[in-house]
Structure 1
Amino acid sequence: MVKIRAIIAEDDFRVADIHEKFLDRFEEIEVVGKALNAEQTIEILEQKKPNLLLLDVYMPDQLGSDLLPIIRQKYKHIDIIMITAATDKEILEKALRYGVEYYLIKPVKIEHFQQIIEEYLNKYHLMQTDQEINQEFIDRIFKKGTLPSAVNKETSLPKGVDDITLSKVRIVLEKSSIGLSAEQVSRQIGASRTTARRYLEYLISVQECKAEVVYGVVGRPERRYYKI
């Protein structure tokens, strides 16, 4: 699994440690550096070449928001999540202009933090697929005009089914045109076959995929799953 490399720019090392511990819950993310000020932030960006930056505004040597044009000029493809106590409208407008993914106001509730990271990961994984670019795809990326059926599915997930793993299973199915067994899916998402089968059967229940029994060369039946 290719991990998302993240750095945390936060002048309070205790807060930075909390953010790091939280990100460690997500196996797709690896924290590769922490910066206590703006100068260190630029240095670590240059050294580590991360995919994701958690950026504070009020740092001792320079405002994090003032780093945005510098970061966008040198590191165009990095995703930025701002986590700050700043409620200045000018700073918010600057964040929007420079493509900040999310803007979280401190103190951040852990439930909200988790929701944002899950949304970010879903979008990140979706962008890695070869799915055709159409309006539905665009709406999913920008979280606009989502179909009611999709909203209902996401907001009523059964126990044992989470958004992140579900997104991985969807992506694996979307990449396959010949169907996959639960074992094949399990290898690709890094989970057990039982877990993969649970998610696949859930997708059948919400009419996002179908299953067919296929007989192999030795006559052993195999249940294969296809994206609808």
Structure 2
Amino acid sequence: MIQPEIFDVLVVEDENQLAQMHADFIDGHAQLRLVGVARTLKDAREQLRQKRPRLILLDNYLPDGEGISLIDSELMRGLECSVIFITAASDMNTCSQAIRCGAFDYILKPISWKRLSHSLERFIQFARTQRAFKVVDQQNVDILYQLQSKTFSQDTGSKGIEENTLNLIRQIFIAGQDSLHSVDDIVSQTGLSKTTARRYLEYCVEIDFLSVEMRYGKIGHPRRLYRRHIPS
């Protein structure tokens, strides 16, 4: 059986909590491997030289400069490395520059985790397809461009899911990766209503961030408990 290719990923993000969430997100993916977290441009350049990742999740506003300067640098031109630009920079000039410099994708903060997941899946498909083609013809080129530019369609099933609240719940399970939590536990830790907590927990199950375990007591209904889902 042929093993799927694993793609090395470098996270460049100076916000500690967000950097950790990106790292955990990558670690939870069977076809991606986290090779490092850089919190400055200088550190990012050093890790790029040493680890030569296939993909960077790149923030723009870093303590010693702007991440966008890295995309079109001589260093990057010497690597086979794609960039998913994740930033609060919402001005069109920055967006246009990132596109001109060849960013694979551009995601605005606050991050939609479903949007990031979709971008990562497109990158994996793009990289696999790119390596599978032995001959460049117009059809192959068109396929690659379609993978890179494919429009993201918002899932109508995620209406009512607010990113800050979703991130709050995610962080509880990231902090205690092997711990089980009930709806009541989440209510106690977040102050959300039980209805809201249950809706967010079930959404996390839908997107494979959480899994469900049933605990049966001697009396009454079984308890529905939630745990961080780690792909096998």
TM-score, with normalisation over the residues of structure 1? 0.59
Residue of structure 2 in register with 1:62 after alignment: 65
**Greater RCO structure (CA 8 Å; 6+ sep):** 2
- What is the alpha-carbon distance in structure 2 between the residues aligned to residue 82 and residue 76 of structure 1? 17
- What is the alpha-carbon distance in structure 2 between the residues aligned to residue 61 and residue 13 of structure 1? 16
- What is the alpha-carbon distance in structure 1 between the residues aligned to residue 123 and residue 76 of structure 2? 22
Change (3 A) 1:34 1:140: same
Correspondence for 1:96 among 96, 99, 111 = 99
Aligned pairs, number: 146
Gaps of 5+ in 1: 147-228
Correspondence for 2:33 among 19, 26, 30 = 30
For 1:157-213, what per-residue CA distance to the aligned partner results, in whole angstroms no more than 9, with x for missing partners?
Answer: xxxxxxxxxxxxxxxxxxxxxxxxxxxxxxxxxxxxxxxxxxxxxxxxxxxxxxxxx
In 1, are the aligned partners of 2:71 and 2:83 still within 8 Å (CA)?
no
Pairwise CA distance, 1:142: 0.7
Amino acid aligned to 2:55: L
For 1:11-68, what per-residue CA distance to the aligned partner results, in whole angstroms no more than 9, with x for missing partners?
Answer: 1121011111112232221110000111111111111111111110001111111222
Q: Detail structure 1 runs of 4+ shifted over 4 Å in the superposition.
A: 71-74
Pairwise CA distance, 1:71: 5.0
Asked whether 1:140 is paired with 2:162, we answer: no
Asked whether 1:129 is paired with 2:132, we answer: yes
Asked whether 1:86 is paired with 2:89, we answer: yes
In 1, are the aligned partners of 2:9 and 2:53 still within 8 Å (CA)?
yes
In 2, are the aligned partners of 1:11 and 1:35 still within 8 Å (CA)?
yes
Residue of structure 2 in register with 1:6 after alignment: 9
Gaps of 5+ in 2: 150-232
Change (3 A) 1:140 1:32: same
Residue of structure 2 in register with 1:44 after alignment: 47
Change (3 A) 1:71 1:52: farther
Amino acid aligned to 1:114: S
Change (3 A) 1:106 1:73: closer
- What is the alpha-carbon distance in structure 2 between the residues aligned to residue 123 and residue 143 of structure 1? 9
Identity across matched positions, percent: 26
TM-score, with normalisation over the residues of structure 2? 0.58
- What is the alpha-carbon distance in structure 1 between the residues aligned to residue 85 and residue 133 of structure 2? 29
Say which SS state the counterpart of residue 118 (structure 1) adopts: helix
Say which SS state the counterpart of residue 98 (structure 2) adopts: helix
Change (3 A) 1:94 1:76: farther
Say which SS state the counterpart of residue 33 (structure 2) adopts: strand
